[in-house]
Structure 1
Amino acid sequence: MILRQLIVMVCLLIVSSSTFAYRCTIDMRKIDEAMAKKPAITQSQEIEVRKLRTEGEALHKKGKHKESIEALHKALEILDVQ
């Protein structure tokens, strides 16, 4: 019984980790698409969005998907993208 629960927990961890990884790439694409449309934001906001986008991608590559999503969502908030 304990072994079965352990196996289920490991499987859930693997699935949730890959879900976070997938979410990062979707958010990065949303930021790139929004920036390509030349949004009506200030220069300082644009700099912040680019910084957060770069930071989010670096965290994603390091496997820190929760932190990556947080950075990317801050950028999306500035861009007012859902």
Structure 2
Amino acid sequence: MKLRVLVAATVFALAAGNAFAFHCPKEMKKIDAALAAKPNITVAQMSEVKRLRAEGETHHKAGKHQEALDALGKAEKILNIQ
């Protein structure tokens, strides 16, 4: 019984990690689309958005999906993406 619970928990954890992994590229595409639309933000904000976007991609590639989503979320907030 304990083995079944352990296996189920492991499968759930892997599925959740994969869900985060596939969510990151979607958020990066939203940011890229907003940047392509030439948003009305300051130069400093633009620089910060680009930095956060790059940070998010780096974290995503390293498998740190929560950190990636956190950085991408900050960029989206600056761009006012819902």
Q: Which TM-score applies when normalising by structure 1?
A: 0.99
Q: Distance in 1 between matches of 2:55 and 2:9?
A: 30
Identity fraction in percent: 46
Give the paired residue count.
82
Match of 1:67 in 2: 67
Q: Which residue of 2 aligns with 1:22?
A: 22
Amino acid at match of 1:48: E
RMSD: 0.4
Q: Which consecutive residues of structure 1, in runs of 5 or more, have no partner in the other structure?
A: none
2:13 equivalent to 1:13: yes
In structure 2, what is the equivalent of residue 43 of structure 1?
43
Alignment partners' CA distance in 2, 1:74 and 1:20: 16
Q: SS at 2:60's partner residue?
A: helix
- 5+ residue gaps, structure 2: none
